[in-house]
Chain A
């Protein structure tokens, strides 16, 4: 039963990933990313992480991808990339390193895999995650809020247009 859900989701995720990396237009990349995010949300459900799945859809798909799309529209960049003249061997080297990396990663990750135990009642619900977050991770939680604030301030500062005739920021 789970296979029936996992296999299509995994196939879609890999296809979306290839799409993100290979698409010529940034818009297409964004759409492909959206597909990946949605597929992963489905796998999270299978993995008994319903709250994370919901976050994934709301924050990633809902907020971040939309932000990407906004910027793509704002800058109106179409294809962007001409022939690579500056780093001619980058693609070959990248393929080699990535292949090595995938091999190493697979060995490492698969070595850590164990059979799944049965899921207890209430694992991965909003209640369970929230309780852990606000009990054991209160300080990081608050710090995360501060980091967000810093990020917002940075974005506002960076996004401000330089004052007319001024020296810039």
Chain B
């Protein structure tokens, strides 16, 4: 029987990978995929805790995370397309209009 520790460690590793991707990569699409990676790691943690406490709530939350992730991807990708149309780039370091 695989203990909860293993699942949670996997979740933590995946989350950190995703966070590192957001910080290091400059391609907006890859950043977005890294965000998806983080969301998935959180989902894994939720499902693990649902199993640990035998509470179905954890799995219901995963459903909502899925919904939000889908909406976020839709809007985010639309934004990326829009930016690309006007600036011919998906490098987010080039998008710095809010510089102080």
What residues make up the interface of A, taking CB atoms closer than 8 Å to B? 2-3, 6, 10, 13-14, 17-18, 20-21, 23, 26, 29-30, 33, 36-37, 40, 43-44, 46-49, 51-52, 55-56, 59-60, 63-64, 67-68, 71-72, 74-75, 77, 80-81, 84, 86-87, 90-91, 93-95, 97-98, 101-102, 105-106, 109-110, 112-117, 119-120, 123-124, 128-129, 132-133, 136-137, 140, 144, 147-148, 150-152, 154-155, 158-159
Contacts and interface: CB of A to CB of B under 8 A. Distances in A.
Contacts of B12: 102, 105-106, 109
Contacts of B77: 67-68, 71, 155
Given A105-B16, A124-B59, A159-B78, A26 B24 contact: no
Interface of B: 1-21, 23-27, 29-30, 32-34, 36-37, 40, 43-45, 47-52, 54, 56-57, 59-60, 62-64, 66-75, 77-82, 84, 90-91, 93
B68 A147 contact: yes
A63 to B, nearest CB: 7
